[in-house]
Amino acid sequence: MPLYLRILALALLPLAIHAADAGKATLNGAFAAYSKGDIKGAAASYRALAASGSHLAQFNYAMMLKRGEVEGDTTPWLPLLEKAAQGGVMNAAYALGIAYEHGEGVARSQNTATRWFRLAAEKGHVDAEVSLATQYFLGRGAPHDEAQAAHWYEKAAEGGDVGAQYIVASMYEHGNGVAVDPARALTWYSAAARQGDPAAKLKAEAIARGH
C-alpha cells in the first residue's frame, strides 16, 4: 500500500471508531429511554437506526410496532422483524415463530412457525430449541418425531432451561425417542432439582433409591 494511503487510513481510523461508538451509544440510549418509559424517544431512536440498517433496532422497533406502542405509525412490523431475523437477530426469528404459532398479527401457520424456530434453534436460542422440540413432539408443523424432540429438548436442557431438563429426563426414564437410560434421567432430574423444581427433586430421589 502506498505511504499516503497508509497515512489516510490511520487518519480515518479514529473517525470510524468514533462512529461505531456513537452508533452503540444511540442504541444504548434508545434502550435506556424505553426502560425509563420514554416510549416516544425510544421509538424515534429505534426508527432512525432501523432505517439505517441496524438489525437490533429493526427488531426492537418491530416489537414496539407489534405491541401498538408507537402512536401514529402504521409501518408494518412483520417485514422489519423478518429483516432483523435474516440479519442474525435470533430473538427476532423466535418472535416470528411465536407469532406464526399463535396467529398474532399474521395468519396462523405451524409450518412457518417451525421454520423460524429452527433458524433460531440452530443458532443456540434456548427458547427456540424448546419450541422446536415441542413442534416435533406434537407433530405440529413438523413430523411427529420423538427422537428429534429429545434432541432439541436436551439442547435446551444443556442451555439451562429447567422445563426442558425435566422433560428430557422423563424421556430418558421412559424411553421416549431415546433408549431408556436411568443415569441420564437422574442427571437431568437432578439438574432441574438444583434449579428448584420440586417434582424433579422427588424423581431424582426415587431413581437414586432404585425405584
Q: Is 170 exposed, middle or buried (0-12, 13-18, 19+ CB in 10 A)?
A: middle
Residue 99 corresponds to which cell in the numbers above?
407469532
The dihedral through the CA atoms of 152, 154, 160, 162 has a sign that is positive
Instruction: Check residue 210 and give its pLDDT.
Output: 82
pLDDT tens string, the chain, 211 residues long: the values are 454 434 344 444 443 434 444 445 489 999 999 999 999 999 999 999 999 999 999 999 999 999 999 998 999 999 999 999 999 999 999 999 999 999 999 999 999 999 999 999 999 999 999 999 999 999 999 999 999 999 999 999 999 999 999 999 999 999 999 999 999 999 999 999 999 999 999 999 999 988 6
The CATH 1.25.40.10 domain(s) of the chain lie at 89-144
- Following CA atoms 153, 158, 159, 163 in sequence, which dihedral angle do they give, to the nearest 10 degrees? 50
What's the CATH number for 89-144? 1.25.40.10
Q: Which CATH code, of 2.60.40, 1.10.3470, 1.25.40, 3.20.20, is assigned to 1-84?
A: 1.25.40
Q: Of 84, 54, 49, 52, nearest to 66 (Cα)?
A: 84
